[in-house]
Amino acid sequence: MPKAILYDATLCIDCKQCEQACATQNKNPYDDAIGKEQRTSDHKFTYVHNTLGNEKYMRKLCMNCLDPTCVSVCPVGALVKHKEGPVSYDAGKCMGCRYCMVACPFGVPKYEWSKTIPRVRKCIMCPDRVLAGKQTACAEACPTGATLFGDRDALIAEARKRIAAEPGKYVPVIYGLNEVGGTSVLILSSVPVETFGYPPPAQYGEKPLPPLTADVLEHVPQVVTVGWAVLGGIWWITNRREIVKETEQ
C-alpha cells in the first residue's frame, strides 16, 4: 500500500524540527543561518514558510507525485518512483541534463551549480527508512503531529475527518489528493496553499502530467531530423558561396 505524508499547517508551530531532521537524514549542513532560508535549495530540501507574519505556516518540499513527471522525462533512469511513495535519485546514473527541473510542476529539483561533480537535489521521502517500514525523518521529529506519515488512504480519511469536524478551520481541500494525478504529500491548511507559492489546485488539473510530456517527446525525433536538415542546408549554402567566391577570383 502506498505511503504518504500528511502536513496539517494548522498544527505547525515553526519549530523547524522537520528541517533539522531532514538535514541530518540527507547529510546536509544545518545551522541558524540555513534555518532562516525561506526556500528549498541544493542543501535544504524542506522549509517552513513563515513570511506571512501571522502564525500561518506552510511546509514546502517535494510532493513525490504518484506519477512523477521528473521520472518520465529522465532519459537515464536516475529518478525512480517506488510503489511505497518515495521518488528516489541515483546520482551515479544522472547525466546532468536537468530535464527533471524543467518538467517538475512544483519547481522542486535543484542543481549543485557550485560543485565540480554536481547532482540534482530534492526531498526523496527517506526511501531507506520507508522501505524499512519506518517513518520519514521529518514525521518522526515533528512534536505536534503537524507532519504525519502512514498509509495514503488512511491519511486521506484522517484529513477528511478533520475537515468535517472543524469546517471553519480548514480550506475544504486536501491539496495533493488529485492534483497532477495525486501526490505522496497531502496538505491541510486554513488558507489557500497558493498563498505560499504552491500552484493553485486548478492550474495543472487532476490528470498526471507524464502522458502530456510523452506526447511532446514522441515528436522530438521528427523535430531533430528537420532541424539537422535545416542546419545542413544552411551549411551547404554557406559552403557553396565560399566555393563560388574562390572560383570567381
pLDDT digits (tens, 9 = 90+) for 185-231: 999 999 999 999 999 988 888 888 887 665 555 555 554 445 555 55
For residue 142, is pLDDT > 90? Answer: yes
| Residue 17: all three cell numbers together | 524540527
Q: Which fold has domain 3-208?
A: Alpha-Beta Plaits (3.30.70)
The predicted pLDDT at position 202 comes to 86
CA dist 167 and 53 (Å) reads 24
Q: What are phi and psi of 102, to 5 degrees?
A: -75, -35
Pseudo-torsion of CA 182, 219, 122, 184, nearest 10°? 10
pLDDT digits (tens, 9 = 90+) for 42-73: 999 999 998 766 778 999 999 999 999 999 99
The predicted pLDDT at position 113 comes to 95
For residue 125, is pLDDT > 50? Answer: yes
Task: Mention every residue, 6+ apart, whose C-beta is less than 8 A from residue 159.
Answer: 6, 8, 174, 177, 186, 188
Closest CA relative to residue 68, chosen from 95, 89, 92, 94:
89
pTM of the model: 0.84
CA dist 124 and 118 (Å) reads 17
For residue 240, is pLDDT > 70? Answer: no
Closest CA relative to residue 123, chosen from 184, 196, 188, 205:
184
The predicted pLDDT at position 144 comes to 97
Domain boundaries, the chain: 3-208, 219-248
| pLDDT, average across residues 143-149 | 98
